[in-house]
Amino acid sequence: MQIKALKTPRIEGGESLEEIISNALPSLQNGDILAITSKIVSLCQGRYINKEKTSKYDLICEEADLLLETKHNPYNLYLTIKEGILIPSAGIDESNVEDIYVLFPQDVQKTAFSLWTHLRTKYNLQEFGIVITDSHTTPLRRGVTGISLGWCGFEPLYSYINKPDIYGKPLRVTQINILDALSTSAVFVMGEGSEQTPLAIISGAPKISFLDRPPTSQEEDNVKIPLEEDLYGPLLLSANWLKNH
């Protein structure tokens, strides 16, 4: 598998995402997957707000589906759930922008499908995928990795269920989350600082089953686990969540 990060001009907001991508792409080949950082999606959607207009905490309360209230917070970050994802501060970001808060993008799946359709047609591709990425934290581990917020063009999970392990025993529950695995790899290559490379082309990724259609609602839901079924459910359900009404 190879990943090539693509440099773009500084993106200030309100620009055409399709135009930014078209100007940055050298070409696309069958079997490629284009990773796009969610921040430029939000900026192009106008999903940002001047810091003078609100406090970050008030904005988090407005944007989060669930917020874990904490009295002592040395990092000014809050644990939230947003669109089924456990994420700090409802995905609100302040890095690599000036004087604004960048919000979680809207209609991520719709955006992924629109870009997938446009680029698939433009480059006459039969097998092609889009994944919209964000940086993500892991409990009890320092540093960030990556997570997918939306995708199009390929199966999101690779199942080992009922397949044998090296001793011939059938695996019962193991699946690879292809979306987050690719997102982590792309986030690592794209970087978090001044690299200015919010796009990456992933080539030769294994275990990919490409699709000629967008994911169904059922396929979107299959990626998520309800709190009641999650391994960490007992911990999360016992937390003092504040609900956004």
Q: Do 37 and 158 sit in the same domain of this protein?
A: yes
207 contacts 176 by C-beta, under 8 angstroms? yes
244 contacts 66 by C-beta, under 8 angstroms? yes
* 131 within domain boundaries: yes
The total number of structural domains in the chain stands at: 2
* 127 within domain boundaries: yes
* 220 within domain boundaries: no
What does the pLDDT read at residue 245?
Answer: 55
Q: Do 140 and 196 sit in the same domain of this protein?
A: yes
Which whole-number Å values give the CA distances from 41 to 14, 62, 104, 110, 138, in the listed order? 10, 20, 9, 12, 24
* 221 within domain boundaries: no
Q: Containing domain of residue 77, as a range?
A: 49-104+227-245
Q: What are phi and psi of 152, to 5 degrees?
A: -165, 145
Q: Which residues of the chain have pLDDT under 50?
A: none
Q: Do 193 and 204 sit in the same domain of this protein?
A: yes
What does the pLDDT read at residue 72?
Answer: 63
Q: Do 114 and 97 sit in the same domain of this protein?
A: no
* 219 within domain boundaries: no
Q: Do 126 and 99 sit in the same domain of this protein?
A: no
Q: Do 131 and 85 sit in the same domain of this protein?
A: no
Q: Do 100 and 72 sit in the same domain of this protein?
A: yes
The pTM score is 0.94
What does the pLDDT read at residue 70?
Answer: 75
Rounded to an integer, what distance in angstroms lies between the CA atom of residue 94 and that of residue 88? 12
What does the pLDDT read at residue 244?
Answer: 74
The CATH number linked to 129 is 3.30.1330.100
What does the pLDDT read at residue 71?
Answer: 67
Q: Do 23 and 140 sit in the same domain of this protein?
A: yes
* Strand 32-37 with 128-137, pairing: parallel
